Chain A
Amino acid sequence: MTLAGAKASALAPAPAGRAARVSRKRRRSEAPWAAFFLAPTALGLAVFYLWPVVQTFYYSFTTWGPFGGHTFSGLSNYRQLAHDPELRSAFVNTAWYCLLGLAGVPVALVLAAVLARPGRRGVGFYRAVLFLPVVTMPVAVAVVWRWLYAGDFGLINTLLAKVGIHGPYWISDPHTALIAVAAVGMWSSVGYTMVILMAGLQSIPRQYYEAAQIDGAGPVRQFFALTLPLLSPSLFFVTVLSVIGTLQTFDLVYVLIGQTNPALPQTQSVVYLFYQEAFVNNNRGYAAAIAFLLLAVTVALTGLQFRLQKRWVHYA
C-alpha cells in the first residue's frame, strides 16, 4: 500500500500562507457571482424540495379532512406511530429489502470484475444488456415479473416442473413473496451498481498490479490488498445509494403484490404504508408522520455509514 499512500500525499494540495490569503480575497469578490449562477438550482431546490420537507414536518402534527383543511393535533400522530403494529412490520420488511438489496453489491462486483478484465471482448454488449433493467420503467418490469412468477402458468414454475419441482405461488405465498420482490429489485439495480464498480476498477492503474506481481502477490492477495481497498470509495458510494433506494421500495410492492394479496402484510414496505394512509385512507397527517420517521431513519443510517467509512474506505 506504500504506492497508494505516496500518490495521495503528492496530490494533496498544500497551500502556502500567501497563496491562501489571495485566494480567500478572490473568493469573496466572486461570491455574488457564484450566488447568481447557483440561484436557479438553489431556488428550485428550495421551492421543490426543502419547502415541502418543512411543510410535511408541520403537517405531521395535524389531522386532515378528506378535501384539505387541517387542524393542529400536536403529537397524536407520533403517538399513533408508536403503537401501530402494521408500521412495525413494514419497517421489518423494509429492513429485509435493504439487506437483500445490499446482497446485490457482491453480485455486481463479480460481474464488474469479470467484465473489466483487460482484453475481454464484447464488454459493451454485456454491459448494455445488464444495464437494460435500470433504464426500464419499474412498473413494466414488475408486470413482466408478475407473469414470470405466476404459480400455475408462469415461466419459472413451468421450467421448475420440467425438473420435477413443484414451485410455489411466488408472489402470493407469504413465505416467498418478500424474497421474490427483493429479487426483482436486485435484478433491476445490479446493472447500475456494476457500471459504477467497473468504472472504479478501470481507474486502478495497471502498474500497481505489475508491481504487486513482481513482489510475488497472487490473484487472491492482489484482490484483497489492491483491488478492494482501491475500489472502496466506489463500494461506499453504491452501498449508500442502495440503502437509500431500498428504504424507499414502493412501486414493486404496489404492482407485484397489490391490495388483496394474502402476502401483503409480509411484503408491505414503509412507503407503501405511507401511500395507503395518505391517498387511500385519507390520513394525510399520519402519513406525514410516517414520512418523517422514514426520513429520520434514512438520515441516521446514512450518517452511520459515513461514520463507519473511516474504518474501511481508502481514498487513493
Chain B
Amino acid sequence: MGIRTVAAAAASLALVVSMAACSSGKGSAGGKVSLSYGVWDATQVPAMQKIITAFEAQNPDISVTVQQTPWADYWTKLQAAATGGAAPDVFWMNGPNFQLYASNNVIKPLTDLHQDTSVYPASLVKLYQYQGVQYGLPKDFDTVGLWYNKALFDAAGVAYPTGAWTWADFQAAAKKLTDPAKGVYGVGATLEGQENFYDTIFQAGGYVVSPDGKKSGYADPNTIAGLKFWTDLIAAKASPSLKQMTDTAPLNMFESGKLAMFWGGSWDAKAFATNDGTKTGISVAPLPTGAKKATVIHGLANVVSAHTAHTAQAEKFVQFLGSQQAAQIEADTGTVIPAYNGTQQEWVKAYPQYQLNVFLDQLPDAVPLPVSRDTAAWNTLEANLLTKAWDGSEPVGTVAAELATQMNAALAKEGS
C-alpha cells in the first residue's frame, strides 16, 4: 500500500499541478465534450469503464475519462483541486464529506434533473440532501456483516454463527476460537468505526452524534458499552493487540487464516473472492445482537462539481450513473451493492459461494453512518483518543469522556 501511496501522491501532485496550469484547457475539441470522473476504488474501475462505454454509445458527443486516486489520498487531493477550482467534473462522494462539500458550494444541486429518487433506499437519498436539496444520486450501498473462516470453526468445534447470536454467544465463541500456539485469534478488534465500534455502539443502544449534529454521544453509557465490547475482547486476548494490528491489518490476518471472524463490509466480497486464502472456506453471517440488532449502512453518491464547464453534460452523466442500466452493470461485475432498487439480487448471485443475502437481510435494522458538517475533524479525534483505550493504557470510560468533550468542541465550531 505504501508504494502505491507514494506513487499516487506523486501522480496526484502532478495532476493537481497540471490541472491548475490548464484548468481552462480541458473542454470541447471539435464539438466533443470530455468529462473527468473522479473515483477512488481501483477494483471498481473496470465496472466504471463499462458504464462509461454504455454512456458514450448513447452520447457520442461526450467522452468520459476516469481519474482514479487511492482512498488514502482521495480527499486530500480532491480538496486541493476543489480549492483551485479544478475538481473533476463528476466525482464520488461519501457521507462523512458530503455536508462539507455541499455547504461550501463545491458541488451543484441536482434540482434540474427532476430525478425520481424513490428508486433508491430512502436513507441514502436523505444522506445526500443538504437543507432539503438533493446534491447527489446514490450509487451503491454497503452494510456490515460477520465474515468467518469455516475451517477454524470446525477445528475448534464451534458451531457457525447465525442471526440468532447474541453478544454473549459471540464473545464466548471468540475466546474458544483463539489458539495462541498457532497465532490464531477469534476476531480482530480493528480500530475502525464503520465496520466495528459504530455497529456495537448502535447495538448497545448508544449514538455517536445527535440527529441535529450538535452533540457527541461518547458520554452516553450505552455508547461506552459499545466501545467496551471491543476493548474487552482485546483484554481477553480473543483479539490481537493494537500493536499487532498496527503491524498487520486484521483484514490481512483474516485473509491468511489467522482470524476466525472478521467484521467486514459487503464491499469485501470481491477482494475475498479473488484471494487464495478466502476464495472458498469462508462465509458471512448477520452481526450479533446486543440490546438490539444493528448494522451500519452507508453508500456513495455521484455528484457534479460546481466549477464544471459542462454542467448539462455532467448532469446527464450523473443521471446515467444513477440509472437502472448502470446499476445492472455494477451488479453483474459484483463489485458493490447497487443503490437502484431491484438490482441488488444480481449482486448476491455474483458470488454464489458466500451467503451475501445476509447484507440485504439486515437492511431493516440498518443505521446510517454518523456524519456532521465536518466529520473529518472528529474522526481524527476518534482515531487519536480511542487508541489509548484500545491499547489498554487508559480505561474506556475516561477516554470516552475526553472524546465527548473534544468532539463537542469540534461540533460547536461547525455551526459558525
Chain-A contact segment, one of B54-62, B75-83, B281-289? B75-83
Chain B residues with CB under 8 A of A282: 79, 374, 376-377
* Contact of A139 with B390 at beta-carbon distance under 8 Å, contacts A153-B248, A169-B246, A260-B191 already known: no
Which of the four size classes fits the interface of chain A? 20 to 34
Chain B residues with CB under 8 A of A152: 183, 244, 247-248
Report the separation of the CA atoms of residues A65 and B374 in the bound assembly, to the nearest whole angstrom: 11
Chain A residues with CB under 8 A of B243: 151, 169, 172-173, 262
Q: Does A106 contact B (CB under 8 A)?
A: no
Q: Does B367 contact A (CB under 8 A)?
A: no
Report the separation of the CA atoms of residues A204 and B321 in the bound assembly, to the nearest whole angstrom: 71
Q: Does B100 contact A (CB under 8 A)?
A: yes
Chain B residues with CB under 8 A of A150: 247-248
A255 x B5 contact (CB < 8 A): yes
Chain B residues with CB under 8 A of A172: 242-244, 246-247
Report the separation of the CA atoms of residues A281 and B100 in the bound assembly, to the nearest whole angstrom: 12
Scan B208-219; emit 1 where CB is below 8 A from any A CB, else 0. 000000000000
Chain-B contact segment, one of A113-121, A140-148, A188-196, A222-230? A140-148
Majority secondary structure of chain A interface residues (helix, strand, loop or mixed): loop
Q: Which of B237-289 contact A (CB under 8 A)?
A: 241-244, 246-248
Majority secondary structure of chain B interface residues (helix, strand, loop or mixed): helix
A62 to chain B, nearest CB (A): 14
* Contact of A66 with B79 at beta-carbon distance under 8 Å, contacts A262-B390, A280-B376, A281-B380 already known: yes
Report the separation of the CA atoms of residues A137 and B6 in the bound assembly, to the nearest whole angstrom: 9
* Contact of A66 with B6 at beta-carbon distance under 8 Å, contacts A153-B248, A281-B380 already known: no
Chain B residues with CB under 8 A of A279: 76, 79
- Name the contact of A66 in the complex, choosing from B104, B384, B391, B393 (C-beta under 8 A): B104
Closest to B192 in A: A260
B83 x A67 contact (CB < 8 A): yes
Report the separation of the CA atoms of residues A258 and B191 in the bound assembly, to the nearest whole angstrom: 13
Report the separation of the CA atoms of residues A172 and B241 in the bound assembly, to the nearest whole angstrom: 10
Q: Does B2 contact A (CB under 8 A)?
A: yes
Chain A residues with CB under 8 A of B247: 146, 149-154, 169, 171-172
Report the separation of the CA atoms of residues A267 and B377 in the bound assembly, to the nearest whole angstrom: 21
- Name the contact of A260 in the complex, choosing from B3, B377, B387 (C-beta under 8 A): B387
Chain A residues with CB under 8 A of B248: 150, 152-153
Q: Does B133 contact A (CB under 8 A)?
A: no
* Contact of A262 with B242 at beta-carbon distance under 8 Å, contacts A139-B6, A153-B248, A172-B247 already known: yes
Scan B384-396; emit 1 where CB is below 8 A from any A CB, else 0. 1001101101000
Q: Does A73 contact B (CB under 8 A)?
A: no
- Name the contact of B104 in the complex, choosing from A65, A261, A262 (C-beta under 8 A): A65
Chain B residues with CB under 8 A of A173: 243
Report the separation of the CA atoms of residues A259 and B72 in the bound assembly, to the nearest whole angstrom: 11
Q: Does A124 contact B (CB under 8 A)?
A: no
Q: Does B106 contact A (CB under 8 A)?
A: yes
B387 x A139 contact (CB < 8 A): no
Q: Does A264 contact B (CB under 8 A)?
A: yes
Report the separation of the CA atoms of residues A276 and B384 in the bound assembly, to the nearest whole angstrom: 12
* Contact of A258 with B106 at beta-carbon distance under 8 Å, contacts A67-B82, A139-B2, A281-B376 already known: no
Provide 30 A-B residue pairs closer than 8 Å at the C-beta atoms, listed in order of the A residue.
A65-B104, A66-B100, A67-B82, A67-B83, A137-B3, A139-B2, A139-B6, A140-B3, A140-B6, A143-B1, A146-B2, A150-B248, A152-B247, A172-B243, A172-B246, A172-B247, A173-B243, A255-B2, A255-B5, A259-B383, A260-B191, A260-B242, A261-B246, A262-B391, A264-B387, A280-B376, A280-B380, A281-B377, A281-B380, A282-B377
**Nearest 3 CB-CB pairs, A to B?**
A139-B6, A172-B243, A143-B2
